[in-house]
Amino acid sequence: MSTETKILSRDSGDKTIVDIEAQNVDFRNCEAIKSSVAGFVSQGQKNIILNLSKVSFMDSSGLSVMLFCKRVCDEAGGTFGAFGLQNYVNNLVNLTNLNKTIPIYDNESDAIS
């Protein structure tokens, strides 16, 4: 199993979709994701949507990534959300009430509309 994390971005209107191409979001890749998102925001892409459809596991580091992204986007006057949460990640987000702070969408079209 590859532990490499690819972080890809694409624009959809005024929003930037950030595809996390990894099975896990945890202590091994959380700093890379945070710095990528911070970089996008500093380049003026302040409406970020995380695509987590390939992520099947997330730990507390992953939750901190989501809170970091939300804060960075908020500070830039932008928006932050996520979509494509698999069962484990979705349960974790709901259990920690992160879904009350961060908009969670079922799919990409809901997220960009």
- Full set of structural domains in the chain with CATH: 6-112 (3.30.750.24)
Q: pTM of the prediction?
A: 0.94
5 is written with which tokens?
A: 């994390």
77 is written with which tokens?
A: 């006057």
Q: Indicate the residue type of 18.
A: V
Q: Indicate the residue type of 40.
A: F
pLDDT cut 90: percent of the chain above it: 96
Q: How confident is the model at residue 1 (pLDDT cuts 50, 70, 90)?
A: very low
Strands 6-12 and 15-21: antiparallel
Q: Indicate the residue type of 30.
A: C
